[in-house]
Amino acid sequence: MFHPEDLRSAKFTAGAPEATCAQDATQPVQEKRNENRPHTQVTVEELVQQIKEAADQLLADRADRGDVKILATAIKELRHALSLFARYRHLRKVTIFGSARTPRDHPAYQAAVAFARKMAELGFMIITGAASGIMEAGHVGAGKERSLGINIRLPFEQAANPVIAADDTRLVNFKYFFTRKLMFVKEADAVALFPGGFGTLDEGFEALTLVQTGKSHMFPILLIDEPGGNYWRTFDQFLREMLLRREYISPQDLALYKVTDNIDEAVAEIRQFYRVYHSMRYVGRKHYLVLRLRSILPPELLERIRQEFADMVAGETFELVPADPEEHNDVHLMHLPRLRFQFDRRSLGRLRQLIDFLNREAPDPIFPEVPPAVPAI
């Protein structure tokens, strides 16, 4: 698991806690900030130095070779993946999950091809696990130029599909699932799940858990059945009957995902999510949540928000504000209007409902779509 500020600066780039091995991992830790520059983040050079110090501490700890090998592999693979994705961070992306066993003539495969093609036509890149089945379908629909692959090395052969294998500069291979899943979610502006097995359900629950707990940026999660299919409708019934009815989740959590068997409806859901809303981040010592918007909210709409969403406020209420000095690293976003408030950090379903409200009720955007900000770890 990882903290929201660790994901990407377009979503969360407030000071992300950074630990050293000498610190108690059970205790909250803070970035080593320079008091002479209160509105700047720790520099890349300082963060790299922290990595080196943590690595040196492994020797002092007399760490087991197997433990150090895990860390070394994870760091090397993440560095490579981050370098690859850095070339495409000006583009929004959809991560597609689904079974590697789905044959090419299956309706779910064809639905994934159609969905990926439509998203690519809208300018999105498509991320998949790079193997066969639904993962291949996503790349077939997107085409080589709009495809990115995140493969996993398994005890049995899992070769990359022909689309992504034709250009391995867009492919990264991981040894560990945890680093692979980090990249799937970190780089995603939306997640689409087609029917699949244990791996697909694991990835779906991971995405839902991270969004529900605020450990990830907010993004739309689509559960897409083949036309007339009931895989995800049955899954939705399970969540409602076994989790919601027993109060293991809250009614608002159902707003975090959408079930559909209509590709056009799935595409429209993602387009609508970014109609007015652009991105979010926490700023300041009071940990304000700031929503970046592409539309200016009129006073009467701001008042409606204050009344209808007061239950998710833990302190200062909703205000329209300019960019905070802490956002200086996102220069191309500084002009966007902001809706700021102190969020209770628990009501993530309500936060999604607020974003839906803004996209539905706000005036037409007057600011053109701009790229996401540069992600940060």
The fold for domain 91-273 equals Rossmann fold (3.40.50)
Tell me which residue of 160, 187, 168, 164 sits closest to 78, measured CA to CA.
Answer: 187
Region label for 315, one of left (φ > 0), alpha (ψ between -120 and 50) or beta (otherwise): left
Is the model's pTM score more than 0.85?
yes
Task: Specify the DSSP class assigned to residue 162.
Answer: H
Tell me which residue of 186, 270, 204 sits closest to 10, measured CA to CA.
Answer: 186
C-alpha 338 chain-centroid distance: 20
The answer to whether the beta carbons of residues 275 and 364 sit under 8 Å apart is: no
Residues 6+ apart with CB under 8 A from 10: 217, 278, 279, 281, 330, 333, 372, 373, 374, 375
Ranges of residues in the chain with a pLDDT under 70 are 1-40, 157, 373-377
- The pLDDT, as a whole number, for residue 327 is 87
C-alpha 35 chain-centroid distance: 31
- The pLDDT, as a whole number, for residue 167 is 81
Tell me how far apart the alpha carbons of residues 96 and 203 are, in angstroms, rounded to a whole number: 10
- The pLDDT, as a whole number, for residue 235 is 98
- The pLDDT, as a whole number, for residue 30 is 46
- The pLDDT, as a whole number, for residue 374 is 52
If 0-12 CB within 10 Å is exposed, 13-18 middle and 19+ buried, where does residue 206 land? buried
- The pLDDT, as a whole number, for residue 260 is 99
- The pLDDT, as a whole number, for residue 26 is 39
Tell me which residue of 73, 54, 56 sits closest to 178, measured CA to CA.
Answer: 73
